[in-house]
Amino acid sequence: MNLPSKLPRDLNIKELNFNNITSYLEVKNLQNELSRRVITKDDYIDNVELVCGVDVSYRKKTAFCSAVVINKENFEITETAISKSKIKNPYIPGLFILRESAPILQTLKLITKPFQLLLVDGHGVLHPRRCGLACYVGIDTNIPTIGVAKSLLCGGVQSDNFVTHKSEILGYALKFNENSKKVAYISVGHKISLLTSIELVKSITKINQYIPEPLRIADKLSKELDYK
C-alpha cells in the first residue's frame, strides 16, 4: 500500500518522531491544531470491502504491532503485517500518539494492498482535545479511520449509549449485551461520520464480542508476538 505523504507541511512537522518535540505542551498544541483538520463526515466511504485493524502490545521496552486486513463480508483474513520496535515514550493518558503512532505507521507501510477503512485501538475525537491516536493516524494516512478504545478518557455515556463531553456527542459505547461491563468506545478518527462508524463497527463485530474482528485478531496477534 502506498501511503500518502506525511502531515501537511504547513504544520512545520518534518518527521513523525516526537523526540524532536521538547515538551508535552507542544504535543498538546499539535493535537489542538490537528483537531481542526479532522473530517467528521463520510468521505469516499462507499463500497467498503477490506478493513484493516491495527494494535500494539508491549513487553519490557519493546512494542509489538500487528495489522490485520479482513474481508468485510466473510471475515476472511486477506493480509497481515507485523513489526517490533523500541518504546521511545512513556504511556501518558491523552498523549497516546507519543507511544503508538510510530509503530502503527511503520506497520501499516508493510501492508501491500489497498484497504478502504482503518480501525485503530485508541480514541479518535472522543478526546479532551478532539484529537486522539486514531485522528493522528487517519490524517497521516489519509484513510477513513475509526477509533475503537477499551476505556473512556473523557465524557460520559448517555442512556442511548452515545458518549458526550462538554455537551458534544463524540462517541458511542458498544456492548455485546446491556449487562456487559466490557465496552468498546467508538469515535471518528478521520474522513467518516460517527453514525457510519457505528454501523460499520457493528457489521464487523461477531456475536457475543464487543471488539470488531480486525482489531480483535490484531490484538491477539500482537500479544502472541510478545512471547516469540
DSSP secondary structure letters along 132-197 = -HHHHHHHHHTS-EEEEESS--SSEE-TTSEEEETTEEEEEEE-SSTT-S--EEEEEEESS-HHHH
What does the pLDDT read at residue 5?
37
pLDDT band at 15 (very low <50, low <70, confident <90, very high): very low
Q: What percentage of the chain has pLDDT greater than the value 70?
A: 89
pTM for the whole structure: 0.89
8 Å CB contact between 180 and 133:
no
CA distance 157 to 145: 22
Q: In what order do the strands lie in the sheet with 145-149?
A: 77-86, 62-71, 50-59, 117-120, 145-149, 184-190, 168-174, 162-165, 156-157
Q: At 163, is the pLDDT very low, low, confident or very high (cuts 50, 70, 90)?
A: very high
| DSSP category for residue 44 | S
Look at residue 8 in the predicted model and tell me its pLDDT: 43
Q: For residue range 32-83, what is the model confidence (pLDDT) as tens digits? A: 999 999 999 999 777 899 999 999 999 988 999 999 999 999 999 999 999 9
Res. 21 pLDDT band, cuts 50 70 90: low
